Amino acid sequence: MVWNEDNLERFMRLNKDKFDSYAPKNLHTAHFLNKLAIRFKIIVSIVPYLIKVGFVAIVIFICSYLMWNNFIRNDKDQMALGEISWNYKKLEASYKAEVLLLTREARKKANKNVIEEIQSSDTMYVRLKKDLKIHPNDQRIIDGMMQYYQTKINTLRIISQADVTQQVE
């Protein structure tokens, strides 16, 4: 007979009375508790090492983040429009969503050279973000950033509509 889980369970049910009739040896409980204590000591002896490894991992994560944030990140010298106030953050999110949507439409319809030209205009926006980092309260820079978004949205709309009118004609 092959002893698998089902056979073993059936055997235990059929012979339950025989198992209950025998009492364990006198030292069985003490021997079991002694083995359990040894096993517990092994597990507890690992805990200080796990704590040290966790601490080292946290320190490495924090150091990595600080290195990335202060030295590696490309936009560390730039400031987004949304960092000024909550209203500007909502406005910038709205502009970005519309630009993304119109860019997807324009990529389907327009020439690759036109899309590359539009994306090259982003250098002006990067310059504005750098200026905003230096002068965060300058309304002219803020207005320039909003005008950039409006111009880009209008340009993308014109491209999408011009392509539609070319297809109709």
Residue 121 CB partners (closer than 8 Å, separation 6+): 148, 152
Q: Which two tokens stand for residue 29?
A: 């409980």
Res. 15 pLDDT band, cuts 50 70 90:
confident
DSSP 8-state symbol, 22: S
Digit-coded pLDDT (tens) for 119-134: 777 888 888 888 988 8
Task: State yes or no: pLDDT of 168 exceeds 70.
Answer: no
Q: Which two tokens stand for residue 88?
A: 């500007």
